[in-house]
Amino acid sequence: MIFITAKFRVKPEHADNWPQITAEFTQACRGEPGCKWFDWSRSVDDPTEYVLVEAFDDGDAGAAHVQSAHFKKAQETLPPHLAATPRIVNFEVGQDDWSLLGEMAVTD
């Protein structure tokens, strides 16, 4: 599985609307074959920072993602809303879903 985390610094005047600004792109990505998840979160410390956590089945699915028409459109439409170039961590992991955090296991 390809696991990607990216931080997006959004211009303050666009921060509250970032979920709406990215809605079409998000829905298209979630509908891609091989997309496991594509989830945005807003920082609790910095209201202009959003974190994107996404995963794809494999490198082929990840390559198809960045070659898609909706990705190319996002390359044009999203940067004007950003205050800085997004930062990313991208790596391949030998699993296909989230693992349980055993150190904080919930028991009944």
C-beta contacts of 89-92 below 8 A and 24+ residues apart: 89/4, 89/5, 89/6, 90/2, 90/3, 90/4, 91/2, 91/3, 92/1, 92/2, 92/3, 92/59
Query: Residue 68 in contact with residue 24, Cβ under 8 Å?
Result: no
Closest CA relative to residue 58, chosen from 25, 96, 5, 105: 96
Domains of the chain from N-terminus onward: 2-91 (3.30.70.100)
- What is the distance in angstroms between the CA of the first residue and the CA of the last residue of the chain? 32
pTM for this model (two decimals): 0.92
- Give per-residue pLDDT as tens, 3-54: 999 999 999 999 999 999 999 999 999 999 999 999 999 999 999 999 999 9
Of 108 and 74, the structure prediction assigns the larger pLDDT to 74
Q: Output the average pLDDT for the chain.
A: 96
pLDDT for residue 18: 98
- With bands split at pLDDT 50, 70 and 90, how would you rate the model's confidence at 57? very high
Whether the per-residue pLDDT at 108 is higher than 90: the answer is: no
